[in-house]
Chain A
Amino acid sequence: MSITLTEVEHLAKLARINLSGAEKEKYAKDLSAILDYVKQLQQVKSVQRAVDRAEAPGPSQWRADAVIGTSTAEQEELLSQVPERSDRLVKTKPVFK
Chain B
Amino acid sequence: MSFSYLTIKQITDGLERKEFSCADIVEYYLNRIEANKDLNAFITLLPERALLEAKKVDQKIQSGQRLKKFEGVPISVKDIILTRGVKATGGSRILENYYAPYDASVVKFLKEEGVIILGKTNCDEFAMGASNENSAFGPVKNPWDKSRVPGGSSGGSAASVAADLCAFSVGTDTGGSIRQPAAFCGVTGLKPTYARVSRHGLMAMTSSLDQAGPFTRTAEEAAQILEVIARPDHYDATLSPQAAEPYSQRLNEPVKNLTIGLPKEYFGNGLDQEIKSAIQAAVKEFKKLGVKIKKVSLPHTAYSLAVYYVILPAEVSSNLARYDGIRYGSPSKAAKNLEEFYSLTRARGFGAEVKRRVMIGTFVLSAGYQDAYYKQALRVQKIIQQEYRQVFKQVDALITPTTPTPPFKLGEKLNDPLTMYLADIYTVSANIAGLCGLNIPCGLTKDKLPVGLQLLGAPFHESTILKLGHHFQQATNWHQRRPPV
Contacts and interface: CB of A to CB of B under 8 A. Distances in A.
Interface in A42-74: 42, 44, 46-48, 51-52, 55, 59-63, 74
A51 B327 contact: no
Interface string B350-379: 101001101110111010000011011111
B237 A62 contact: yes
Contact of A38 (B98, B342, B377): B377
Interface string B306-325: 11011000000100010011
Interface stretch (B110-118, B213-221, B328-336, B444-452): B328-336
A38 B363 contact: no
A44 B346 contact: no
Contacts of A30: 356, 417-418
Interface residues of B, number: 62
Contacts, number: 150
B306 A41 contact: yes
Given A15-B317, A51-B378, A44 B359 contact: no
A86 interface: no
Nearest to B317: A15
Given A14-B362, A31-B356, A38-B373, A60 B382 contact: no
Contact of A42 (B335, B337, B372): B372
B326 A90 contact: yes
Given A41-B307, A41-B310, A90-B327, A15 B362 contact: yes
B64 interface: no
A60 B380 contact: no
Contact of A44 (B241, B300, B337, B344): B300
Given A15-B317, A40-B303, A60-B240, A81 B338 contact: no
Given A59-B237, A61-B239, A27 B356 contact: yes
Contacts of B234: 61, 63
A59 to B, nearest CB: 4
B224 interface: no
Interface of B: 98-99, 101, 195, 234, 237-241, 300, 303, 306-307, 309-310, 317, 321, 324-331, 335-344, 346-347, 350, 352, 355-356, 358-360, 362-364, 366, 372-373, 375-380, 382-383, 417-418, 421
5 contacts: A11-B359, A31-B359, A41-B376, A51-B378, A51-B382
Interface of A: 3, 8, 11-19, 23, 27, 30-31, 33-35, 37-38, 40-42, 44, 46-48, 51-52, 55, 59-63, 74, 77-78, 81-84, 90, 92-95, 97
Top-6 shortest CB links A-B: A59-B237, A18-B347, A81-B328, A18-B343, A93-B338, A16-B342
